[in-house]
Structures are given as structure tokens and as C-alpha cells.
Amino acid sequence: MLPRQPAVPRGLAAGPALWPRLPRSSRVVNNHHQTLALKWLLNPAARRAGKFSNGRLQTNAEFVPPRNINMDKNELVQKAKLAEQAERYDDMASCMKSVTEQGAELSNEERNLLSVAYKNVVGARRSSWRVVSSIEQKTEGAEKKQQMAREYREKIETELRDICNDVL
């Protein structure tokens, strides 16, 4: 018999990098490293708009993937690494797409980041597709549920197709 694991306090996630859950209206930043990470992830336009001030991050201040070509390649790679650590693979893929659009040849590290980003983005959609397809097959008697599952599966397929065309 395995020893019992100590109980994790409610609202805390496993792992040192995750923060306790706070009310959805705002998240209080009380750690210098957390503040630096948040400033790094927020783009300059969001900082100028006042969405990050006085140690508070409003929930409407979402990460906007960089789309301008003038952004420094090294900065985009660093943002991709941060996104990978945060398991935000859509943001990671967006950053690496911007790096590839600059036209320069990618280093081994950059190719690996691009590969990891799209592998995880596609992998999540494939997993969703399998689950929804299984549900669709199991609901043969209920036409309304089957129709809903079919429409959702088609939506996931469209996302997958768009992502694959994007990387090509």
C-alpha cells in the first residue's frame, strides 16, 4: 500500500511555478519574479494602455501574440520559451511563426521550439477530435446529441486543418 500523499491546500496547484487561485476580477502580484514574468509576457501596447499597474493584472489583459516583423528575433524566442514553460502552446506557436516570417534561417533551438509548439497545438486538437468522435459514435440513439457532437467534431477538424496549413 502506498503512503498517503499530503493534502494540497485548496486553490493551490501542484508545482512551484503555479500561483494560488484568486478572484477572477484581479490577480495580485506579490513576487518580484512573477512581476517580471508578467511584464515580459505583456506586450508594450498593453503596458501603455494601463492594464498592468500597481501590482495588479486585470483579467482582460490577455497575451497578444506578436505579429509585427520589427520585433527582435531574440525577444520572440524568449517569449516562446516562456510560453512553453507556461504550457501556452498557442502563444508559443504564434511567437515562433513570427520568427519564421522574418525570413532568416532558423537555428536548431528555434526549429525545436517551432516543432514543440506545433506538435502540442496539433496534439491537443487531435486528442479532442478522438474524444468527440468516440462520443458521436456512442450516441447513435439520440439524434440531437449526435448532431451536436458532429458539429463540434467538424469545428475541431477545421481548426486542425487551419493549423496544419499555417505551419506549411
Greatest alpha-carbon span in the chain: 59
DSSP-assigned states of every residue in 125-150: HHHHHHHHHHHHHH-SS-HHHHHHHH
pLDDT band at 5 (very low <50, low <70, confident <90, very high): low
Q: Mean pLDDT across the stretch 133-148?
A: 91
Neighbours of 55 (CB within 10 A): 13
Residue 76 pLDDT: 96
Residue extents of the structural domains in the chain: 25-64, 79-167
Q: Mean pLDDT across the stretch 47-70?
A: 45
Residue 4 pLDDT: 57
Q: Is the pLDDT of residue 19 over 50?
A: no
The answer as to CATH 1.20.190.20 being correct for domain 79-167 is yes
Residue 2 pLDDT: 53
Q: Mean pLDDT across the stretch 97-124?
A: 95
Q: Residue-wise over 132-163: b if at least 16 C-beta within 10 A, else e?
A: bbeebeebeeeeeebeebeebbeebeebbeeb
Contact 115, 156 (CB under 8 A): no
Q: Mean pLDDT across the stretch 122-134?
A: 96
